[in-house]
């Protein structure tokens, strides 16, 4: 079973904010007595997706906008953004959004679609100013894995409520290359389906599986 570890000193304020938001979201979801267990898990994932996102991505995505506007009105969103502070992962706000939004998308669309959306976004970014980022993609994949563990019950909401820590669920992202321009991404990595791209993604997924939250923390479901 996943157990809380000691939080390292010197962690960025935004990381503490995110950890607090995730824990409180788990606590609030557990209090939904009228809901079934699976509904509570889904509500938790939607909550962290909303709480971490200050962009218009979710609210303006076709097919998803109504869901997120029902969860949080425009006025409620303004109040949240003015009061909660900026949640981060390893001091980066964008990584917090990648992790939490990807987790919410798993509940709404499934892990395959959430993964495809993450890859598609990086492909678009590679052709723009920001470039391809394996660090961003790693945050996406970590969020997807986290959501799968929540929805399957491998990690219960009670454990998240009392002990969620970023370092247990997200690998060190600064080790992955970012800002890769399109020409270099194609030439050096082979593009979206290139051999080096696939091997890097496999390394990321292995790093996620080796995080403290996962090895030995659950029994795999029968198939």
Q: Which pLDDT tens digits describe the chain residue by residue (223 residues)?
A: 555 545 456 778 899 999 999 999 999 999 987 678 899 999 999 999 888 777 666 656 666 666 666 666 667 666 666 667 789 999 999 999 999 999 999 999 999 999 999 999 999 999 988 899 999 999 999 999 999 999 999 999 999 999 999 999 999 999 999 999 999 999 999 999 999 999 999 999 999 999 999 975 544 334 3
Give the model's pLDDT for residue 66. 65
Give the model's pLDDT for residue 219. 40
Give the model's pLDDT for residue 52. 79
Q: What's this model's pTM, rounded to 2 decimal places? A: 0.85
Q: How many residues does the chain have?
A: 223
Q: Collect all residues with Cβ–Cβ distance below 8 Å to 159 and sequence separation of at least 6.
A: 1, 2, 3, 4
Q: Collect all residues with Cβ–Cβ distance below 8 Å to 126 and sequence separation of at least 6.
A: 132, 180, 181, 182, 185
**Which ranges of 84-181 would DSSP assign to H, the alpha helix?**
93-109, 111-126, 134-151, 157-163, 166-169
- Decide if 186 contacts 119 (C-beta within 8 A): no
Angstrom distances, CA of residue 104 to CA of 53, 150, 151: 11, 11, 11
CA angle, corner 118, sides to 29 and 102, nearest 5? 5
The tens digit of pLDDT for each residue in 135-156 reads 999 999 999 999 999 999 999 9
Return the DSSP state at 120.
Answer: H
Give the model's pLDDT for residue 133. 97
């Amino acid at each position: 079973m996943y157990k809380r570890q000691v939080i390292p000193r010197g962690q960025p304020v935004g990381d503490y904010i995110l950890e607090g938001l995730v824990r409180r979201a788990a606590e609030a979801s557990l209090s939904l007595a009228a809901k079934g267990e699976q509904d509570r898990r889904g509500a938790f994932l939607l909550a962290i997706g909303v709480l971490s996102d200050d962009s218009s991505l979710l609210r303006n995505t076709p097919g998803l906008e109504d869901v997120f506007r029902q969860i949080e009105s425009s006025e409620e969103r303004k109040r949240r953004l003015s009061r909660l502070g900026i949640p981060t992962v390893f001091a980066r706000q964008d990584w917090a959004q990648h992790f939490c939004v990807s987790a919410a998308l798993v509940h709404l669309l499934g892990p395959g679609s959430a993964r495809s959306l993450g890859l598609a976004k990086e492909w678009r970014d590679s052709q723009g100013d920001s470039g391809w980022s394996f660090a961003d993609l790693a945050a996406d994949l970590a969020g997807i894995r986290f959501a799968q563990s929540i929805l399957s019950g491998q990690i219960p909401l009670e454990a998240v409520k009392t002990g969620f820590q970023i370092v247990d669920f997200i690998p060190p992202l600064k080790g992955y290359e970012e800002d890769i321009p399109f020409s270099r991404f194609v030439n050096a990595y082979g593009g979206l389906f290139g051999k080096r791209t696939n091997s890097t993604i496999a390394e990321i997924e292995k790093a996620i599986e080796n995080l403290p939250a996962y090895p030995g923390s659950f029994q795999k479901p029968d198939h």
